[in-house]
Amino acid sequence: MFKQSFFALSLFAVSAFANATPELLLSSEIISNQLEFIETVEITGDIDDSLQRLVNTSISKKSGDFYVIKDISEDISKETLTVVINLYKQPQGLAMQG
């Protein structure tokens, strides 16, 4: 129960961080916008790390405009947190539609 609450709160914290580049999107927003898939990135860090910091640090040098969190898992025996994200870019000359 605590683990689920922690991850829900962590996801909220990541989504609230507006200055992140690339920006976090919901998977439903990918369907409604014409975005190009770039790559899938698997990020593994210390289980005690901030989810927001772990993702932002890992994708700060990646090219892309947006990302979607596909999976979050933890391995208690190895004390690791793994986040899988998909990176997307907006095609040239195409404005986001809301």
Predicted pLDDT of residue 47 = 92
- Does the residue 97 lie in any domain? no
User: Per the structure, how many domains does the chain have?
Assistant: 1
What are the tens digits of pLDDT across the range 20-52?
Answer: 468 889 888 887 778 899 999 999 999 999 998
Q: With cut-offs at 50, 70 and 90, classify the pLDDT of residue 4.
A: low
CATH number of the CATH domain containing 85:
3.30.1660.10
Query: What residues are paired with 39 via a beta bridge?
Result: 87
- Does the residue 96 lie in any domain? no
In percent, the amount of the chain with pLDDT more than 90 equals 44
Matching residue, tokens 């910091």: 53
pTM comes to 0.69
